[in-house]
Structure 1
Amino acid sequence: MIDSSKLLSDLGLVTVANALKKVRGFIFLPALTKFLGPEGYGVWVLALLLIQLVLPVASFSLMDGILRYLPGESDRETRVRVGNLSVFVLITSTAVCLLIVLVSDVLAVTVFKGYELAVVVAAIAVVPSVLFQFNTRVVRAQQHLKIWSVLDTGQRLLELVTVVTIAFTGSGIVHVLTGLLAARAVGAIVSFGAVVSIIGTPLLKWPNQEYRYVQFSMKIIPWSLSRWFIDSSDRFLISFYIGASAVGYYSAAYTVAMGLRLLVQPLMTVVSTSLPQLFENDSKQACQAYLTQSSRVLTVLLPPAMVGLSMIRTPVLSIISTPPIAEAGAVVLPIIVLSIAAFSVSEISTQPLLLTERTGFISGVWIIAGFLNLGGNMLLLPRIGIVGAAVSTVIAYVVVALTLYLATSREIRPKFDWSLLAKTTAATVIMVPVVDTLLGSGLFNLSVSIISGFFVFVTSIYIMGGIKKKEIEFITGFFR
């Protein structure tokens, strides 16, 4: 029997951490643009993309292996696995760091506008970034979501304060990236201390049974790289076909649309943490029930969020950007929202395949989707501009979501509640005129329309029986 209150409680903890991530992005955008200028901000974005790109390779995607297998290990085995694998990722991330440093001059000329030192600092930052992710995945695998939330939130706050403070002093992009490096080094050290407090001092006993973790995780590397390609390569292609200004329009819309992930990412964090333990206990029925409950949450969240973001896109973009960006970004934002929704559905469908170790199949699907996305961009970008990039991404994510769902075992596949979707759709339709009537220019009118639309939707779906009374009581209690 799946405890809905436990699921919602975990979601509340993770939502706080993920909310800060989205808020941090909104603060970084105007702050760094003002203090670093367009070129400096561009180098900042490229540095973060570089770190994000190499993380799966530098870590061998062991974070996924940890979530899959560590919950089923005994206490001593856990200490041995963590000790051996932490040394392994330290070696692999250092090797990737050195490789980037060796080609830093080439990257500086071709991509980073001559900022070779910025490439070097970004390369060094790969090591603490990998270690922090490794340590926090261990914490999640041990079911300590409160500690994980504190670590994640603290790390994001530290990076925000450090980076913005250094930028405010008038220092250049290299100093700002050095501040990011220092913040991530602190995060790696503190998170390792958290791991020690939970499992005890990690032990070294090499070689052991770690090949299972490595074998499982290596198959995920192509999947991770393909996801990065679909999610980020369109920015480079837009710049190539249209120009840098179009990248600005698209990126601003993407930043707002990613607000949808604020609702979905906490759910996926909790699901990916809890399912392996259920599966290791040979409880396929419990896994299916847990996934079904999670899909219900997704069914309630996505429709109103998609419609709501699409309705408020123009005033939001006007507040955080310039009129030209707001005008162009408003056109493409609803399509981007649809792609993010499709990606969120694909994440639910991925979980049963990870449990049954079908990582090669998952990677194959994402590789095909990556080529599909590339072909779509090359075909549509020259003809319909940034709308073409958004359409190509939607097509790729829809193909992934449908393929992965159909490939899941019927024993674990989540049961979809069509009646709940109908109730959610009806409640969303009722919400629309309320938001449309109250929506206007300015932050106050925007806030009133969002809050009013939220209460109308919740009230409507509660009356229809889509949300249970105990779930309403828990949510209101969480905000007290």
Structure 2
Amino acid sequence: MLNRVRNALPSAPARSLILLACGQGIAAVAGLSYGKLAAIYISPTVWGEYSLLFITMALLYSLFITPTLQSFKAALSQFSPKQVFTFYSRMLAGLYLALALPVLLATTYYQTPIFGIIWGVAVGQGIFQFGSNYLNATGQHRGFTLLQAGNSLSTLLVFTFVVIGFHQRTLTGIWLVLLIVNSSWSVIVIWRLFRTHGTPISHQETTAALYQPYRQYVGPLVSLAFWGWLINYADRFLIRIYLSEADVGQYAMGYGLGSKLLLLVAPLLSLLSPKVLQTRAAGKPPETANPLIGRYLIYYVFLASAVCLFYYANRDWIGNLLLSENYTMAYFIGPIVAAGYLFLTSIHLLELKWYVFGHTKFVLWHNVLGAILHVGFNLLLIPRMGITGAAIATLTGFVGQFLLACWLFMKPTKSVDS
């Protein structure tokens, strides 16, 4: 009887996937609710101003912080967790301190606290992602899920309290929400990580072992960050050049809704990351990850395609439900961007192999092509079709990028350790 009960229960991978999917479901509901409130209470012009500042922060973040976080995940498969935790926590602290000086100069020159607030948001975001990446890479799916869901829910609650309750429907109000949320969760993450690892080990011990692999891994990613930023954010600046900040706000709101497709792939990425890391830790060649990733990719494409078709068929109803009449121009943008994100999120699954086995040059190659396609099509289509042209450029660029990524994925390679 007991054996029959055990057999009826989901397997460990299935339980992990269910847990991660539930966490992403909570995050999705909170994120969509946040978008709905923003569409009601924030004007397109203010949202456009916020979007332009956000993508400026994203450029600096992706150049200096994201490569370090990617390297952190890969290092966990090669070195002891305590070594990795000590080295990368110090690296992140140094990077943020280096960025503090230009932020201070900008704050003094423009006589506004907004740059300091944005720096605080970036620090909190980096610490939060550092902790999330650690929990995910070490297979602690329950803790990872709690962090993700809790962060999304608290963002919704603080937005309601600050923007709606205190009528802070301004650019500063939006950034204050993110500062409060990110600062709070960074404290929780720091407490948990230091409780797990205790006192950091010596600087010499960690630097001697990890600095050279870190430099080799991060080098290509810095260039990659620039190309990735062009892919994901340059369209907003081009819209501002040709149109207006209100158009940026309309496009950014529709883009944000369409990009929620990332929530579908996030549980798969979280489930697959430890599995692919284990293949490298076991000394297996990169090709051993192909069947594993490919199987999940097929399931994902069927699911995501169905979601995209449903979204397109019901775009006006979904737009009214999740946005507001202030953003009717965004209703048609969302489904086009969602179709593009079907290809982008599929690329994210393929990239797992390259990040784990150190083949970041392949990530760079498909991103260079994607950036060229995105910027080229945006320059061609925005003057003729407005923000709809920008959405079509996004879709077209991701399709071309996906085709190259598939070819590179099937290409025989060796681990950088070989």
TM tier, smaller = 0.7 to 0.9
1:140 counterpart = 2:150: no
1:97 counterpart = 2:97: no
- Tell me if the contact between 1:352 and 1:409 (Cα under 8 Å) persists in the aligned partners: no
Give a deviation string over 1:441-476, Cα, whole Å, max 9, x none: xxxxxxxxxxxxxxxxxxxxxxxxxxxxxxxxxxxx
Comparing 291-300 with 167-176, greater Cα deviation is found at: 167-176
Equivalent residue number for residue 209 of structure 1: 209
Change (3 A) 1:262 1:80: closer
Equivalent residue number for residue 158 of structure 1: 154
1:170 counterpart = 2:167: yes
Structure 1 unaligned segments of length 5 or more: list them. Answer: 109-114, 414-480
Q: Distance in 2 between matches of 1:10 and 1:311?
A: 32
Comparing 83-92 with 355-364, greater Cα deviation is found at: 355-364
- Tell me if the contact between 2:52 and 2:237 (Cα under 8 Å) persists in the aligned partners: no
The offset of 1:257, in angstroms, is: 1.9
Equivalent residue number for residue 119 of structure 2: 123
Change (3 A) 1:22 1:98: farther
- Tell me if the contact between 1:33 and 1:40 (Cα under 8 Å) persists in the aligned partners: no
Q: Distance in 2 between matches of 1:358 and 1:380?
A: 34
Equivalent residue number for residue 265 of structure 2: 264
Equivalent residue number for residue 310 of structure 1: 312
Q: Distance in 1 between matches of 2:151 and 2:306?
A: 31
Give a deviation string over 1:292-317, Cα, whole Å, max 9, x none: 33113213312211211111111111
Q: Distance in 2 between matches of 1:392 and 1:232?
A: 12
Q: How does 1:286-305 map to 2 (within 5 A)?
A: 286-305=288-307
Q: How does 1:28-427 map to 2 (within 5 A)?
A: 28-32=34-38, 35=41, 37-59=43-65, 61-73=67-79, 77-104=80-107, 116-167=112-163, 168-171=165-168, 173-174=171-172, 176-206=174-204, 207-211=207-211, 212-284=213-285, 286-323=288-325, 325-326=327-328, 328-409=329-410
Q: Distance in 2 between matches of 1:277 and 1:412?
A: 18
Report the AA paired with residue 244 of structure 1: E
The offset of 1:210, in angstroms, is: 1.6
Secondary structure of 2:77's counterpart equals helix
Change (3 A) 1:39 1:185: same
Equivalent residue number for residue 17 of structure 2: 11
Change (3 A) 1:62 1:274: farther
Change (3 A) 1:290 1:7: farther
Count of residues in correspondence between the two structures: 399
TM-score, scaled relative to structure 1: 0.75
Give a deviation string over 1:379-434, Cα, whole Å, max 9, x none: 11111222321222222212221112212255689xxxxxxxxxxxxxxxxxxxxx
Structure 2 unaligned segments of length 5 or more: list them. Answer: 1-9
Comparing 39-48 with 82-91, greater Cα deviation is found at: 39-48
Equivalent residue number for residue 429 of structure 1: none
Secondary structure of 2:101's counterpart equals helix
The offset of 1:378, in angstroms, is: 0.9
Comparing 213-222 with 185-194, greater Cα deviation is found at: 213-222
Secondary structure of 1:170's counterpart equals coil
The offset of 1:236, in angstroms, is: 2.2
Comparing 190-199 with 367-376, greater Cα deviation is found at: 190-199
Secondary structure of 1:336's counterpart equals helix
Q: Distance in 2 between matches of 1:47 and 1:82?
A: 31
The offset of 1:122, in angstroms, is: 0.6
Change (3 A) 1:340 1:214: same
Report the AA paired with residue 209 of structure 2: Q
Comparing 304-313 with 211-220, greater Cα deviation is found at: 211-220
- Tell me if the contact between 1:67 and 1:273 (Cα under 8 Å) persists in the aligned partners: no
Q: CA RMSD for the aligned pairs? A: 2.8
The offset of 1:144, in angstroms, is: 0.7
Q: Percent identity?
A: 18
Q: Distance in 1 between matches of 2:260 and 2:124?
A: 27
Report the AA paired with residue 185 of structure 2: G
Q: Distance in 1 between matches of 2:27 and 2:267?
A: 12
Comparing 39-48 with 332-341, greater Cα deviation is found at: 39-48
- Tell me if the contact between 1:66 and 1:141 (Cα under 8 Å) persists in the aligned partners: no
- Tell me if the contact between 2:265 and 2:345 (Cα under 8 Å) persists in the aligned partners: yes
Change (3 A) 1:180 1:392: closer
The offset of 1:33, in angstroms, is: 5.4
Comparing 44-53 with 186-195, greater Cα deviation is found at: 44-53
Change (3 A) 1:96 1:336: same
Change (3 A) 1:204 1:396: farther
Change (3 A) 1:21 1:93: farther
Change (3 A) 1:27 1:324: closer
Secondary structure of 1:71's counterpart equals coil
Give a deviation string over 1:322-372, Cα, whole Å, max 9, x none: 45743x444444322221111122112222222332213322331232132
Secondary structure of 2:113's counterpart equals helix
Equivalent residue number for residue 6 of structure 2: none
Q: Distance in 1 between matches of 2:107 and 2:48?
A: 17
Change (3 A) 1:296 1:24: same
Q: Distance in 1 between matches of 2:167 and 2:397?
A: 42
- Tell me if the contact between 2:52 and 2:236 (Cα under 8 Å) persists in the aligned partners: no
- Tell me if the contact between 1:90 and 1:131 (Cα under 8 Å) persists in the aligned partners: no
Report the AA paired with residue 343 of structure 2: A
Give a deviation string over 1:172-212, Cα, whole Å, max 9, x none: 54355334323322211211222234444432332222221
Q: Distance in 2 between matches of 1:384 and 1:341?
A: 23
Change (3 A) 1:170 1:250: closer
Report the AA paired with residue 202 of structure 1: P
